[in-house]
Amino acid sequence: MLIKLANIDNDFADDEKNMIYMVGKANGVPEAEIDGLLDNPEPLPPVLEMSDDEKFEYLYNVVQLMKIDKEIYLSEIKYCEDVAEKLGFKKAVIAELSSKIYSDPSITSNKDSLRKAVMKYQN
């Protein structure tokens, strides 16, 4: 999903790619597997199999990736909103997350309070 978002503006920036590697590493995904996914992105896993925490992490990461190159396109926002809906959230959750997630991944927001706020947007 992050790879699809990174490609949506037809400009796969190095900082977007680096973030994908960073997210992969944080989740125990080897670089070789990420390289394979870059060549052949997989679809979103079945929503029914995902926990609320996993859904939140997907949304958090997808919004952070959207913002990392400091250029936000309408197509990226729409993609994030579509992902949010597929995960069982209202589209407005993207605006909530976007206002509280920084483009610099080293600056982190309070994920616990953000997770609680995001859960209010569940359908």
Q: How far apart are CA 29 and CA 66, in angstroms?
A: 21
pLDDT (tens digit per residue) in 74-99: 888 988 898 898 889 999 999 999 98
Among the ranges given (11-15, 17-21, 74-78), the one the predictor scored with the smallest mean pLDDT = 11-15
Percent of the chain with pLDDT strictly greater than 90: 20
Per-residue confidence (pLDDT) for residue 120, from 0 to 100: 95
Which residues, at least 6 apart from 91, have a Cβ–Cβ distance to it below 8 Å? 81, 84, 85
Which residues, at least 6 apart from 39, have a Cβ–Cβ distance to it below 8 Å? none
Mean pLDDT value across the chain:
82
- Mean pLDDT of the region 9-28: 76
